[in-house]
Structure 1
Amino acid sequence: MFAGLATLDVVHHVHRPPGPDEKVTATATYVAAGGPAANAAVTFAALGGRAVLTTVLGSGAVADLVRADLLRYGVEVLDLALPGTALTPPVSAITVTAGTGERSVVGSDARGAPDVEPSAHLLARLGAADVVLLDGHHPRLAVGIARAAHDAGVPVVVDLGRWKPVFDDLAPLTTHAVCSAGVRPPGATSAADTAAHLRRRGVPVVVATAGAGPVRLWSVMPDGEPASGLDLADMAVLVEVPTVPAVDTLGAGDAFHGAYAFAVAHGAGAVEAARLGVEVAAERVQHAGPRAWLAALRR
């Protein structure tokens, strides 16, 4: 079960980003569903899992495009928008630079969308889930699902792409917090500070990705005691990242999260899950476009 943001991504590949008042011609253009939870769900499905995405789409042409793309790639969509809601999903404008694969994104996230509670139908389905992944973009939805999953003993993976206040509410309900390199709660100046902040709030496993750098993991010991105190800087387990040609880094973190959740759903520990995440993210960055790379996972 995945819950969070679903967008329509319009992706332009360019030789270089445009400067002020400048137009550049794209070498390729792609249109696909996006958003952290949505992309993670697509990855999970491509690996062979059954992925259900709970989000807020509404009706209209943009929502139809998002829904159709997710269904095409094996993701069941549960839309919690009320029928007939005048709502347009966010549209993200993205540029990917040739040569480096670096991307720039302009989007509106979930602004303007109603912050819904999980439905009774949704909560009834949580007991059958092997893992839950949340991105925090619909806060009340995320907290409601996390609480129900926690109570049912279902592992909860939280994707911390950027710090949001809801993460403090989610922390006591979280099993695995997977953080992007630059995520910083108030007062934190390093990934170790972020890990300490989350551990103080009860998260058993904290994972920090760093692009092409090693993934770091902090977790509790088998007896339940922390692997270290609050000074976590030198106490992380490292998972190395292979050196591969980066063609397109868009959604690489989401691919990591989807693969990590897939491993957790199959009973893997954090290190094994991180290794699968690294393997899948490394495959993703070697392919241009948001979907072509998925064929490599099905070989």
Structure 2
Amino acid sequence: MKHRALFVGLTTIDIQYFIDDIPIANTKIKTGNPDILVGGPATNAAVAFAYLNKTATLASPAGLNAFSSFIDQDLNSVGVDHFDLAYGQEFETILATVLTSKNGDRTIVTHNPTEVKSTISPQKLIDLVEPQIVLIDGFYPEFSLECVRICKERGIPVVADCGSWKPQFDELLDFVDIAICSADFMPPKSKNRKELFDFMTAKNVNSVAISNGDSEIEFLLKEKKGTVAVPKVEVKDTLGAGDFLHGAFCYYYVESTDFERAIQQAALLASFTCSFEGTRKWLNFDHNA
């Protein structure tokens, strides 16, 4: 049976160069042709969910610009149904330049999007998709906030991709059931992970995980604290790995409603993606092989 998941947030165009080492200031590097890929936190999460489920639904602005058809073709090719929140509107694509070194480290230069006037309401979107789970990445807060309010009323679990602190999280987290945080995510006045867990508990977010590259994933499930080991692989590229973790988690959580098990299984897939360059090559392989 196919599951229904909705991912709300950012779609970008990632221009990724593969180099030996991150350059120092005032240097020029010649390298091979870059990969030009569709990315973004919610988008990559939807790709991972679709890899496991054969389909996923993404709501993000793409609009009318030079990349419109490229985005459509890419998302169609990986099984992601796309509700374009800027459909029919001129919209400036979010670009990200990515430098990936031979050890898998990456440096990203990008910019934040502006708020979009959506061509579909959150109410209609959720009515059409009827999701079993929803993920937000914190971008487009007005639209996202209305989505999570509706989900709270309907008992639809909401997962927050907490990559970095954004002011809108202070309100969004009031409607979130599960938060998956990066090691860099830290609310104001929180100085360590204990204070982060306390902050989430005060927000009634009772299921929290903190990823940290290839280190153990720490989690708090209601009052239970624990860790999940991250499988070791030969790392070629870490771009998108955290996003793929989130998308895989959503799939496995819908499958079992077991938070700890879903984190474990998602960590397996996220690590697997790191053994390939770019964010699409791994899709051609079975991660269980």
The TM-score by the shorter chain falls in which range? Answer: over 0.9
Aligned to 1:223: none
CA contact (8 A) 1:182 1:191 kept: no
- Which residue type is aligned with residue 249 of structure 2? Y
Q: How does 1:174-213 map to 2 (within 5 A)?
A: 174-213=176-215
Aligned to 2:49: 44
1:17 matched to 2:22: yes
Aligned to 2:3: none
SS of corresponding position for 2:209: strand
Aligned to 2:40: 35
SS of corresponding position for 2:99: strand
Mapped to 1, the partners of 2:158 and 2:256 lie a distance apart of 13
Q: CA deviation at 1:86?
A: 2.1
The percent of aligned pairs where both chains have the same amino acid is 28
CA contact (8 A) 2:62 2:87 kept: no
Mapped to 1, the partners of 2:70 and 2:92 lie a distance apart of 11
Instruction: Could you tell me which runs of 5 or more consecutive residues in structure 2 were left unpaired when the two chains were aligned.
Output: 1-5
Q: How does 1:103-118 map to 2 (within 5 A)?
A: 103-110=106-113, 112-114=114-116, 116=118, 118=121
Decide which moves more: 149-158 or 113-122: 113-122
CA contact (8 A) 1:39 1:258 kept: yes
Decide which moves more: 248-257 or 195-204: 195-204
Q: How does 1:215-294 map to 2 (within 5 A)?
A: 215-220=217-222, 227=223, 236-294=225-283
Q: CA deviation at 1:121?
A: 2.4
CA contact (8 A) 2:181 2:210 kept: yes
Aligned to 1:145: 147
Aligned to 1:224: none
Structure 1 segments of 4 or more deviating over 3 A? 115-120
Aligned to 2:136: 134
Q: CA deviation at 1:34?
A: 0.5
Aligned to 2:97: 93
Q: CA deviation at 1:138?
A: 0.7
Give the length in aligned residue pairs: 282
Q: CA deviation at 1:236?
A: 2.2
SS of corresponding position for 1:244: coil
Mapped to 1, the partners of 2:172 and 2:122 lie a distance apart of 18
Mapped to 2, the partners of 1:160 and 1:269 lie a distance apart of 20
Mapped to 2, the partners of 1:212 and 1:109 lie a distance apart of 27
Q: CA deviation at 1:115?
A: 5.6
Mapped to 1, the partners of 2:264 and 2:86 lie a distance apart of 36
1:60 matched to 2:76: no
Deviations 1:142-165 (A, max 9, x none): 111111112111111110001111
1:121 matched to 2:110: no
Cα distance 1:23–1:190, how it changes in 2: closer, same or farther (>3 A)?
same
- Which residue type is aligned with residue 284 of structure 2? A
Mapped to 2, the partners of 1:148 and 1:125 lie a distance apart of 13
Q: CA deviation at 1:119?
A: 4.1
- Which residue type is aligned with residue 74 of structure 1? G
CA contact (8 A) 1:15 1:27 kept: no
TM-score, normalised with respect to structure 2? 0.92
Instruction: Could you tell me which runs of 5 or more consecutive residues in structure 1 were left unpaired when the two chains were aligned.
Output: 221-226, 228-234
SS of corresponding position for 1:39: helix
Mapped to 2, the partners of 1:288 and 1:137 lie a distance apart of 26
Aligned to 2:160: 158
TM-score, normalised with respect to structure 1? 0.89
- Which residue type is aligned with residue 104 of structure 2? G
Aligned to 1:231: none
Deviations 1:60-105 (A, max 9, x none): 222322222111111011011152x22121010001001x100110
- Which residue type is aligned with residue 215 of structure 1? I
